[in-house]
Amino acid sequence: MGHLQEARVTMLTSLPYFLRLPLALVLLVLNSVLHIVPLMVLALIKVVVPLAAVRKPLSRVMVALAESWIGVNNALFRVFTRIDWQTQGLDGLRRQGNYLVLCNHQSWVDIAVLQKVFNRRIPFLRFFLKQQLIWVPLLGMAWWALDFPFMKRYSAQTLKRHPELQGKDRETTRKACEKFRHLPVSIMNFAEGTRFTPAKHDAQQSPYRHLLRPKAGGVAFVLDAMGKALHAVLDVTIVYPEGPCTMMDLIAGRVRQVRVHVRERLLDPAWVGSYDQDPDFRERIKRWMQTLWQEKDEQMALMQRQDWLHASTLQGAARS
């Protein structure tokens, strides 16, 4: 049976590009429709029936649907692509734990990678999304139904004209985290706030070789809002050895290798406090994020090496 499945995978990955890409796209869209339509029906029931006894089991079923959607997507990527997945640090993760997941950000592919690596290993990942993304066909409604927090960003000029808008993101974070305190959850945060590009790196005068400067505010707000409900921080580093890639590159099978390093970091009570009102805490959380990002930058340099898994194992043994 294993040889037959492998032969089928080889056959699909060997299809000409002009056949493989449309077929993969059609199946990905079909999978989305088949999962998101029932998700929308359950979301409507959840809105109409405001009883906790109904909403909680509905939320569990909706998360199961979302995990099934991701699982089928992962299976499609497996049969249509030949990606060499190199991962480290996944042992010991818990489905019932509550995690804050911090990751570098290079591409929309990062989300697919995180879903591939963590699906059904830890609680369902929820992202803080830009308000405009609610209009993405199918996915926007699915994110809304699954309680993904949507953040409305204001320009410096808008905040200057309307100072009452200051702190709106923090209020959105607090409300979202209130929902998450009562169920297993993994809260994802791209601390750089935007995808890495050389132009952005130069404009920021970033002190890191492979990263933009991290923004500590959003991380601090989550830590403060979730408090003791969080069990650990998952420090995730993603590297694409062949360079930057897009979702179309992933679907088309042009991504040959993905490297992922996960490090579980225990929470320090010193990381919880008022970012807006406590200057000492603000400096403390900024220093922690800068140290974390410096270590991540070094980790990315290590992961660029051809023998990174072997080198990382030796490095870990030396530390212990």
Looking up residue 89, the CATH number of its domain turns out to be: 3.40.1130
Q: Is the pLDDT of residue 186 over 90?
A: yes
pTM for the model stands at 0.87
Please give the pLDDT value at position 262. Answer: 97
Q: Among 13-22, 147-156, 195-204, which is the least confidently predicted range?
A: 147-156
What average pLDDT does the structure give for the chain?
85
For residues 152 and 36, membership in a common domain is answered with no
Structural domain range at position 88: 84-319
pLDDT band of residue 170 (cuts 50, 70, 90) is: low
307 and 247 co-located in one domain: yes
Number of domains the chain contains: 2
Together in a domain, 62 and 169 = no
pLDDT at 143 over 60: yes
% of the chain at pLDDT higher than 70: 87
* Same domain assignment for residues 10 and 97: no
Looking at the fold, whether 137 and 262 belong to one and the same domain comes out as: yes
**Predicted confidence band of residue 146 (pLDDT cuts 50, 70, 90):** confident
End residue of a domain, out of 23, 58, 82:
82
With cut-offs at 50, 70 and 90, classify the pLDDT of residue 159: low
Same domain for 92 and 217?
yes
Same domain assignment for residues 275 and 214: yes
Mean pLDDT for the stretch of residues 237-253: 93
Co-location of 114 and 231 in the same domain: yes
Find the range with the poorest average confidence among 33-42, 47-56, 199-208, 310-319.
310-319
Lowest mean per-residue pLDDT among 8-17, 43-52, 186-195: 8-17
Q: Are residues 235 and 105 in the same domain?
A: yes
For residues 154-160, average pLDDT = 62
Please tell me the least confidently modeled range out of 53-62, 165-174, 299-308: 165-174
> pLDDT band at residue 161, thresholds of 50, 70 and 90?
confident
Domain boundary among the residues 82, 98, 114 is at 82
HSE-CB of 128 using CA atoms within 13 angstroms: 28
pLDDT at 318 over 50: no
Question: pLDDT confidence of 264, banded at 50, 70, 90?
Answer: very high
Q: Last residue of some domain: 22, 52, 82?
A: 82
The whole-number pLDDT of residue 317 equals 47
In a shared domain, residues 241 and 284: yes
